[in-house]
């Protein structure tokens, strides 16, 4: 019997049955039934391929000054040092300004005042150990030159009471209504002695300031008739102590204290929208000087048209 009679075995001695095939790179994929006969099929993908490399995430620069270049870091550091030094100097000046009189304030008081005034002026009466417990009413009156050439003095106008009436019931009172007259009088009282003599340049400045406030407010009231002019103004204050509570043992005088200022002549510089003229002798008309009898000196301008 030849080998052809023994199944598919070829050589003698070989076991009958199909020959084993060589192992492939992986499990065989079933043929694509849609592929046409005789079309070569694509090789199976490499299942043992390496995983993709992770994406490189860029690192963020350090926050703050450390993220700047060296030159910018130096500039920023110098700016911070200057700001810190200025803040320390300002706090120190404010402390010396509000502190009681001491050796430093006596030696360097002018430097402290030059730093503080006028932008950083402090008023600590509300937080002082003995806060202000007084009601101060500022009143003003005017001397008029009538249209027929006569002179007439008006009654006293309570300027503080008018401010209080404007503030009462007003949800948003203006800064002028609340502080203009009060601060102007405090400015005057703090820069004059008991005889109403100015102390330095601030005293003269406070005179001009409160005189102009009084003139404008009196002119707003129209105290005279047609053709009358305001030629002089005068102010006074009425200070009354606030009664302490019943449980307090503090004793205060209920009697009011009056302070009468001299008459001040109205100058062209005091008029609204004035151009700041000078008198005939070349001196400024806003000095607010008064004569020895308190009647005041200086020209009496025509205030009718300029004030309105």
Give yes or no: residues 109 and 204 share one domain.
no
- Each of the 308 residues of the chain gets a pLDDT tens digit; together they read 454 554 444 455 555 555 555 555 555 555 555 555 555 555 555 555 666 767 666 777 777 777 788 888 899 999 999 999 999 999 999 888 888 888 888 888 888 888 888 778 776 666 666 667 889 999 999 999 998 989 999 999 999 999 999 999 999 988 888 889 999 999 999 999 989 999 888 899 999 999 999 999 999 998 888 889 999 999 999 999 998 888 888 888 889 999 999 999 998 888 876 444 444 334 444 344 443 344 444 433 333 333 33
Does residue 219 fall inside a structural domain? yes
Give yes or no: residues 230 and 293 share one domain.
yes
Give yes or no: residues 107 and 224 share one domain.
no
The residue with tokens 């129209």 is 222
pLDDT at 98: 83
Contacts 24+ apart (CB under 8 A), 124-130: 124/98
Does residue 54 fall inside a structural domain? no
pLDDT at 126: 61
Give yes or no: residues 96 and 234 share one domain.
no
Give yes or no: residues 190 and 87 share one domain.
no
Give yes or no: residues 253 and 159 share one domain.
yes
pLDDT at 30: 55
Burial 143-177 (b: 16+ CB within 10 A, else e): bbbeeeeeeeebeebebbeebeeeeeeeeeeeeeb
Domain holding 265, by residue range, is 134-307
- What global pTM score does this model have? 0.53
- Where is the domain boundary, 90, 116, 142? 116
CA-to-CA distance for 109 and 119, rounded, in angstroms?
17
Q: How many Cβ atoms from other residues are within 10 Å of residue 304's Cβ?
A: 16
Cα-Cα-Cα-Cα torsion 24, 29, 34, 40, nearest 10 degrees, comes to -20
- Is 207:289 a contact under the CB 8 Å cutoff? no
Q: Tally the domains of the chain.
A: 2
Give yes or no: residues 294 and 152 share one domain.
yes
Does residue 42 fall inside a structural domain? no
pLDDT at 287: 41
Give yes or no: residues 85 and 215 share one domain.
no
Give yes or no: residues 221 and 92 share one domain.
no
Query: Is the Cα torsion angle 264, 262, 289, 112 positive or negative in sign?
Result: negative
pLDDT at 82: 95
Q: How many Cβ atoms from other residues are within 10 Å of residue 192's Cβ?
A: 19
- Is 268:285 a contact under the CB 8 Å cutoff? yes
pLDDT at 302: 39
pLDDT at 142: 95
CA angle 188/189/192 to nearest 5° reads 80
Does residue 34 fall inside a structural domain? no
Does residue 277 fall inside a structural domain? yes
Does residue 291 fall inside a structural domain? yes
Q: How many Cβ atoms from other residues are within 10 Å of residue 257's Cβ?
A: 12
Structure tokens at 98: 């509000």
Does residue 35 fall inside a structural domain? no
Give yes or no: residues 138 and 285 share one domain.
yes
Q: Which of 187, 141, 142, 137 lies closest to 165 in space, CA to CA?
A: 137
Give yes or no: residues 206 and 74 share one domain.
no
């Amino acid at each position: 019997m030849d080998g052809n009679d023994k199944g598919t075995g070829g050589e003698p001695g070989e076991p009958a049955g199909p020959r084993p095939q060589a192992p492939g790179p992986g499990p065989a994929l079933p043929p694509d039934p849609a592929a046409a006969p005789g079309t070569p099929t694509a090789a199976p993908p490499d299942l043992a391929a390496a995983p993709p490399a992770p994406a490189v995430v860029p690192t963020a620069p350090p926050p703050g000054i450390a993220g700047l270049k060296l030159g910018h870091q130096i500039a920023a550091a110098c700016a911070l040092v200057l700001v810190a030094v200025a803040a320390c100097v300002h706090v120190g000046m404010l402390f010396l300004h509000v502190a009681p009189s001491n050796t430093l304030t006596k030696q360097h008081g002018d430097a402290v005042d030059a730093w503080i005034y006028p932008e950083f002026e402090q008023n600590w009466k509300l937080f002082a150990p003995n806060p202000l417990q007084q009601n101060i009413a500022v009143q003003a009156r005017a001397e008029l030159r009538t249209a027929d050439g006569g002179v007439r003095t008006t009654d006293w106008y309570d300027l503080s009471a008018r401010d209080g009436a404007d503030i009462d019931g007003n949800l948003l009172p203006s800064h002028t209504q609340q502080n203009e007259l009060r601060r102007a009088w405090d400015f005057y009282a703090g820069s004059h002695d008991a005889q109403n003599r100015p102390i330095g340049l601030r005293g003269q400045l406070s005179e001009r300031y409160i005189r102009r406030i009084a003139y404008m407010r009196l002119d707003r009231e129209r105290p005279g008739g047609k053709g009358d002019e305001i030629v002089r103004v005068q102010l006074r204050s009425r200070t009354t102590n606030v009664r302490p509570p019943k449980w307090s043992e503090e004793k205060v005088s209920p009697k009011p204290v009056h302070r009468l200022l001299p008459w001040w002549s109205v100058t062209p510089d005091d008029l609204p929208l004035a151009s700041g003229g000078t008198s005939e002798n070349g001196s400024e008309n806003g000095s607010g000087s008064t004569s020895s009898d308190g009647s005041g000196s200086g020209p009496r301008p025509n205030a009718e048209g300029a004030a309105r």
